[in-house]
Structure 1
Amino acid sequence: MNLSYFTKLEPWLQAFAGLAALLALAVVVRFLMVLVFMPVLRRIRNRANSRLTDVVLADAAIRRMAQVLPLMVMLIGIEEVPYLSAKVVTVMSNVALALMVIQIVRSLLAMLDALLLAQHQGVAGDGQTVAMKVRSIKSYVQLGKLILMVAAGIIAAATLFNRSPLIVLSGLGAMSAVLMLVFKDTILSFTAGVLLSSNDMLRLGDWIEMPQVGADGDVVDIALHTVKVQNWDKTITTIPTWRLMSESYRNWRGMSESGGRRIKRTLRLDASSVRFLEDADIAYLSNIALLRPYLQGKRAVLTELNSQTEIALGEKGTFPANQRRLTNIGTFRAYIEVYLRGNPRIHQGMTLMVRTLEPTPEGVPIEVYCFTASTAWAVYESTQDDIFDHLLSILPEFGLRLYQSPTGNDLRIGMVQRAETVQALRKA
């Protein structure tokens, strides 16, 4: 069929044939994009092996960009179709242009998704994908996607109605009060997200504790509107982002980064078991290898001080109340410190002390304050348990007793002993 025969057809047939040819050309261009253009871009991306090319040339992005060129063919070629009314040309041009805008924005959205994926994941030296504990940009990505979608909607609507986008924007300006009400949470959440990120207050992988919302675990997701926390019982707590700025919470990141986790626990000793050490007690405790240097040094110091006291006071200097003497609670406190100094699972570069707190009706508290060399929960609990198991077991060696409220069994034994005593007195 030659061109002269085509020109002899009815105008509506020429218009129909022209539209069919234009549609066929767009389909051919679409197949060429899929079969040629996309594989070439994938090869470029794989050879570059760069984070930037992985984001810009993501599969979803180039697949959506492949839709733009056929629409461009339709946009340019529609005006060349013969005997097509101006209204039809305008409508089809506007539709093609609106679809182009939508496809371009969809490509940008795919790039933002790829950027978020690249931020959350890194490639290790062996090629394995590992999660990175970094500041999340998910809130920024979500806000960017929201802005792009709103802009695409405005431009597409203005194009379809053949009006300037400024007219649509002016209409939205008149609805600003409604828009502020609709996007109130978005504005609050984005502001909170910016402050959290800029002040480095929250990162993915941080352990946070927020009792008022029942959150106690690791941050697994930071989005525009919400922050997800996986609690230790594997439940998920979802917190509105703005609440992390308006309310207080505890972030344990400092502990994790320091390399040590604090132990702060007390042993409550029975006050009636506290006493001075006699020479026999000191000789017995000197058999403990950890205590021997301490006792030798203390005895030398106390002997010197007591000698000076005897010289100053004469015979009164030998009175026990005027002399310096070792106590079992002080010696036990020194033993704990030496024991912790030699424990390889205790962090020696951090604060380590053992102190006596104010006596209470529940006994005399001895507080152990130190840091473990590991921040892992299981290791921390195991280290703490081993330390206090040992201290509780060695208390009798110092003549000390742990304070414990009387139990039913204690009362029963006391009553039995009292009855036996009464019977013995009656027999006597």
Structure 2
Amino acid sequence: MSNYFKWFYDILITNNVSEDVALYLNLLINAIILIVLLLLIDFILKRVIIRTFKVFTIKTKTTYDDYLVQSNFPKYIAHIIPFIILRKLIPFVLADFEVWKTFFIKITDVYLIILMVWIFRSVLRTTKEYLKQKDYFKDKPLDSYAQVIVIFLWFVGAVFIFSEITGQSILKFLATFGAASAILLLIFRDTILGFVASIQVSINDMVRIGDWITMEKYGADGDVVEINLATVKVSNWDLTITTIPTYALISDSFKNWRGMQESGGRRIKRAFIIKTNSIKFLTDKDLKKFSKIQILTDYIAHRQSDIDNYNTEHNSDRSIIVNGRNQTNLGLFRKYCDLYLNEHSAINKDMMIMTRHLEPTSKGIPLEIYTFSKDKRWINYEHIMADIFEHLIATVPHFDLELFQEPSSKDFQELSSKFK
């Protein structure tokens, strides 16, 4: 074959061109022809392979081949044949230029190694995007695993490139690499920590893509949109993006709201403060008035019957109301809250419903509503909670109770005006 690449050289020598000039001109002409030929082959192969892939993807039901096309897999495959041809022809084209021949062979080999890494990376990216469409893998940190494999691929590619350029054996390079492992561990500390963390997060099912998490240390409060090797991206409710180091998920504390989202309801836990001096025992007149509240009619009658029987059995002196057992306006209101919540259509009756006292404070007695709404969507949840508390707060005065509220400047002005 070498005679074919000497053809122009022989013609030039025949036409009395000096040997050195003929040698370089022959090289130039051969290089131009080879480059044009390879570009043509590359162009044709790209058109044929890409078009073939597109036709194939249209006819198949799977989307895997569609992702292969999107990741430039056909284009990378088309590049292989021209470069293999180039690698085979370089020794003949540069037969008289030993230094150049060695240099261009190494350059071609390095590019072929990089091209193989690109091809594997393309297949990996395709596999990742394909698996993301599967329900089982939608919430898995596939980006983290893909990044680790890509790093490994580039490491292997770098080993082969080093071996090709230096002429050293791969084993010798790995031995040198082992000696420098402490430095490399320091350089890739975050990557290693992120990889270990992503595996632990996945195995322990701590966080999935789509989970609502809260991490006050990093100001994160929203949905997890991406988990990769180094970071976790959280789309906050204020439409900002918070980036959290992946290893922080196993080293720091955070709240995952998945349990609430998968449960039958979203918790409502809020209290309002009742003024202590508004609490009183109920007289017969009061009971008659409150019995008109339909939701309490049966309860008051049944409860008062039990109380009267108890007081009779224990000979309680009813001339003083504190003797024996009595109903209070706060106790009756507390029962009203329970009954109201049990009849509310937006409350999940299969989960806890409770109205309770919290520890008394200098401001009064906190009365806490503890229940769960059926609808867990944020907007609807807020509307349900607002509807419940608006009703209960408006009901408080009907039980001769008062809510505590810090006095405003207007209150002080009205108070001072009374003494003028």
Q: CA deviation at 1:217?
A: 2.1
Q: Is the 8 A contact 2:57 2:65 kept in 1?
A: yes
Larger mean CA deviation between 160-169 and 140-149 belongs to 160-169
Is 1:370 the counterpart of 2:371? The answer is yes
User: 2: CA distance between counterparts of 1:270 and 1:397?
Assistant: 14
Cα shift readout 1:19-67 (whole Å, capped 9, x = no counterpart): 5554444334312311212211222233223244344454412211211
CA RMSD in angstroms, aligned pairs only: 3.0
* 1:29-428 equivalence runs, <5 A: 29-79=41-91, 83-84=95-96, 87-121=99-133, 134-310=139-315, 316=317, 320-417=321-418
Contact 1:120–1:136 (Cα < 8 Å) also in 2: no
Pairwise CA distance, 1:225: 1.2
Change beyond 3 A, Cα 1:303–1:5: closer
C-alpha distance in structure 1 between counterparts of 2:278 and 2:77, whole Å: 83
Task: Give the match for residue 426 of structure 1.
Answer: none
Per-residue deviation, 1:344: 1.4
Residue identity matched to 2:358: L
Moved more, 327-336 or 8-17: 8-17
Any idea what SS the aligned residue of 2:244 has? strand
Question: Is the Cα–Cα contact under 8 Å of residues 280 and 328 in structure 2 kept in the other structure?
Answer: yes
1:385 and 1:176 map into 2 onto residues whose CA distance is 60
Are the aligned partners of 2:281 and 2:321 in contact in 1 as well (CA < 8 Å)? no
Say if 1:99 and 1:407 are closer, same or farther in 2 by CA, change over 3 A: closer
User: How far apart in 2 are the matches of 1:282 and 1:333?
Assistant: 15
Aligned residue type for 2:124: L
Could you tell me which amino acid in structure 2 is paired with residue 211 of structure 1? Answer: E
Structure 2 regions of 5+ residues with no counterpart? Answer: 14-21
The residue number in structure 1 matching 2:16 is none
Kept after mapping to 2: 8 A contact 1:345/1:383: yes
User: What whole-Å deviation, never above 9, does each CA across 1:83-137 have from its counterpart, x for those lacking one?
Assistant: 54555544433332221111111122223333343344579xxxxxxxx951221
Distance 1:292 1:355 in 2: 21
DSSP 3-state at the match of 1:291 = helix
Structure-2 change in CA distance of 1:34 and 1:332 (3 Å): same
Relative distance call for 1:59 and 1:227 in structure 2 (3 A) is closer
Shift of the alpha carbon at 1:156? 2.0
TM-score when normalising by structure 2: 0.86
Residues 337-381 of structure 1, C-alpha deviation per residue, up to 9 Å, x if partnerless? 111111112222221101122322111221111111122222222
Q: TM-score, normalised by structure 1?
A: 0.84
Q: Distance in 2 between matches of 1:157 and 1:49?
A: 43
Check 1:410–1:27 CA distance in 2 against 1; reply closer, same or farther (3 A cut): closer
The answer (yes or no) to whether the contact 1:14–1:83 under 8 Å persists in 2 is no
Q: How many residues align?
A: 406
Q: Which moved more, 1:8-17 or 1:201-210?
A: 8-17
